[in-house]
Structure 1
């Protein structure tokens, strides 16, 4: 490997890479529905959690551009439910604030904090996410020099533009950056199309489908650190 291609930066996906997200979203939707029952009872009575989820999926199918801002998607779904139920829209902001507070109550995987503390001594760190996690609220923002969210940037993974923008913000060439994520299409394919190396963080040990070729497959941060040490020593 050419010296210029030694990694200078490593960028991370957030949901299901630094923490599990499915149980967090499920719990957030339960607590949101309970909040609605107290503050917007017409909505809670008219729509179950499953109903609200189905309505969001229908909105997304009708307007795929909403993938860029999942918070806007959730708000649009809730607003439509409020209007159909005849509920006072002044409670919409409170509903969203309540959801986001619960959505950010994530617990990083056990290897994440030690791994970030080790990595930040060696290499620039950043994040790119299609989700709406708030790293300041979660308490991890100080580990990263750059954090890009699709909702603010205006384009979502796997669009190469968001990867290139993160590299530019860090002052590194794409070939000098590594992206780490759990999703083969959004993370691995997207990063590689932008010229970055891509590590599939495969915590569940799933077999890689035929045709996919991550630059590395790691089951944990420990394996990622070992792989990175080899790249830095090359």
Structure 2
């Protein structure tokens, strides 16, 4: 029996539509510079690396915080402010400073042209565990539905967030394709929800072989994704 023709595409965001590591690195630099000026006791006591280590330790103690990474950062800052004896009233602005730079992303070169073509043929949506703001980034108009773990209450690879994304676009899971860079969060999560999953492997990794994970397709770019979709007879 032939596979259901795709009617919708849902995308991960960070490291799928744009590189995130340099963005987070710059956001943490900007945050620490702001702390130096406005919460100097925190900046003097904790380096960027130490704040990161404390945040990872916090996540290990409270794994439920993975569903909202901005809240995780806030709780980490609350602990750091308390330990440093700093005024907690600065925390709201500290988070705002971080998120402003965190949303200053630069899409991969293939993304904007591909999204214009893809949305002419398929219904598009996004599902993310992060806190990117597509309105601020300027990409919201490409997508009919956007789901983020902090608002939904569950994070990938939980199948429920994938099913909710399909429901938001009005398609059955077998008629939807999920595209993401993370084998465990994106590929396994989407497949467990009954979707086809494309691993967007921009760096040529062979991690799927080591992990024994079998994506429905492996693409290095969104141009390759389009070619695969056309091979399915989905044009």
If the length of structure 2 is used for normalisation, what is the TM-score? Answer: 0.97
* Equivalence for 2:219: 218
* Equivalence for 1:184: 183
Q: Distance in 2 between matches of 1:2 and 1:126?
A: 24
Deviating beyond 2 angstroms after TM superposition, the runs of 4 or more aligned structure 1 residues are: none
Structure 1: stretches of 5+ with no match in the other structure: none
* Equivalence for 2:97: 98
Q: Contact 1:19/1:109 (CA < 8 Å) preserved in 2?
A: yes
Q: Contact 1:176/1:196 (CA < 8 Å) preserved in 2?
A: yes
Structure 2: stretches of 5+ with no match in the other structure: none
* Equivalence for 1:47: 46
Deviation per CA, 1:90-137: give whole Å up to 9, x if none: 111010000000100100000000000000000000000001101010
| Cα 1:233/1:132, change in 2 over 3 Å | closer
Deviation per CA, 1:77-101: give whole Å up to 9, x if none: 0111111111111111010000000
If the length of structure 1 is used for normalisation, what is the TM-score? Answer: 0.97
Q: Distance in 2 between matches of 1:232 and 1:14?
A: 26
Q: Does residue 88 of the first structure (1) align with residue 123 of the second (2)?
A: no
1:209 deviates by 2.2
Deviation per CA, 1:188-209: give whole Å up to 9, x if none: 0000000000000000001132
* Equivalence for 1:2: 2
Q: Does residue 232 of the first structure (1) align with residue 199 of the second (2)?
A: no
1:233 deviates by 4.3
Q: Contact 2:6/2:234 (CA < 8 Å) preserved in 1?
A: no
Q: Contact 2:178/2:196 (CA < 8 Å) preserved in 1?
A: yes
Q: Distance in 1 between matches of 2:194 and 2:72?
A: 30
1:232 deviates by 3.3
Please tell me the root mean square deviation across aligned C-alpha atoms, in Å.
1.1
1:6 deviates by 0.3
1:229 deviates by 1.3
2:34 alignment partner, SS class:
helix
Deviation per CA, 1:137-171: give whole Å up to 9, x if none: 00001100000000000000000000000101110
